[in-house]
Structure 1
Amino acid sequence: MIDKTWPSAADAVADIPDGASLAVGGFGLSGNPIALIEALLAQGTHDLSVVSNNCGVDDWGLGILLGAGRIRKMTSSYVGENKEFERQFLTGELELELTPQGTLAEKLRAGGAGIAAFYTQTGVGTQVAEGGLPRRYDGAGGIAVASPAKDVRSFDVRGEPRDFVLEEAIITDFALVHAWKGDRHGNLVFRKAARSFNPLAAMAGRTCIVQVEHLVEPGEIDPDAVHLPGVFVHRLVEVGDVEKRIEKRTVSGGAR
């Protein structure tokens, strides 16, 4: 039997070096692998290049690594809930590769599927394709690093020529992932919004490290219920029930 369980989050992330690239699961604050992030924070790893849907908030998720100055570059599709992110980006401390959300998801999936690149209509006619998006500011309001132009080609779609932009796949050194349930072989089940980017991040990492709330024995998960097969998973840590944050709590008004 291939038992992929590790004794602790600290042990599982111990060999992540300074300067590593990470694909990190989560959608907003849903499905953040917070135990693995906290373990990475505690061990002092820095100069990280992180690919994730977002960067958490100031005191949660990837925001705690950002606040400690551990992240050099973020590749994200949404960055609007973190004031420290805004400060670091505008002062030139942080590099940002802003990517359309569907494109980011497909770039991760393609990396895990062995697809080097793909063409998409998303971003055609914008700075995503034409280049010039600020990636790093110089701290004085100028742009130190801008995004490059990408290859655009025309393809016939249902008898009509349309332009498509070339997007390269993403492969990272490590992936940090949260799952609701997993067995010792690494087969995973995700819940609700946590299923969005976690499986994709897992696929893109050369070494995939997963925290699971519930660890079960092989065979206890119906094969038809597996969301991500264990072939993508290398390390598994049981963390039990973890705190689940809500980005913005809203209430609806009742009938007047």
Structure 2
Amino acid sequence: MPELREGETVRILIPNHPDLGKRPWRALDFAHHLRYATDPDTYMPGEDPWRLPATLTDPAVADALVAILQPSWIRRIGDDTAFDDPDSPLISFSTGSVGRMGVFVATATRDQLDLLTAARTLLTEATTTPVRSRSPWQNDIAEYAFEMAEGEKNDEIEASISSWFLMLRLFDIATTDTPATQHRPDRLLDERAKQVRLPDPAGTSPAADTALLLGLIDTAATRDVALDTDGADALRRLQTEWHVAIYGAKATSGDALLSSFLY
């Protein structure tokens, strides 16, 4: 994530994406699991706590994610009835008479994003460093990350390390100056279920598109925001960014493209 200025806050658009579902909750579960990973009081007799650096287990890291992903609204992600609830913070977009996938607006501070970025860097460096080149502490982190990933894959735990990484990728989009290049599909489905070419991202940035939509949200009279051509193009580019963040290397697969019909 680009470094923010001292004391700066950033607003983040979180898509009401059907394949997010419970993933924000599971990301929070992982944050809490990480928080207590080295606490002997949370272990069964005879078990040895993980040896992880404070950059990962500092309670402030988990608190940062909780502060950004407010439980009061993340429970509504993927809920088709959320917009009908007058107390829901879901923002709806429309182009002409066609409704688009809505968004929630999260807020983060520089310190919160810095804590999460530092934790992600440690986890990423440890897991991507070849085994023979890892330091002892990198090996401990990599073993912890592997066990958490295996537990998630086998449905043994609710905590989801992949969801934790996913939410941080969504946070990145709000402050990123360069559009995604890897796994970016050329087309997504439109309201007629036909593949249409996406707006050219050249000369644009996810951060600028986010700021444009936030400006329209701030000046709209209702939670249903009608988009002009520039707003519609900005949303379509961001939908591509979210698509890539959620599906990664599978972003151009048939199943992933089919999901874009709901955008």
Report the TM-score, using the length of structure 1 for normalisation: 0.25
The structure richer in helix per residue is 2
Structure with higher RCO (Cα < 8 A, 6+ apart): 2
Report the TM-score, using the length of structure 2 for normalisation: 0.25
The structure richer in strand per residue is 1
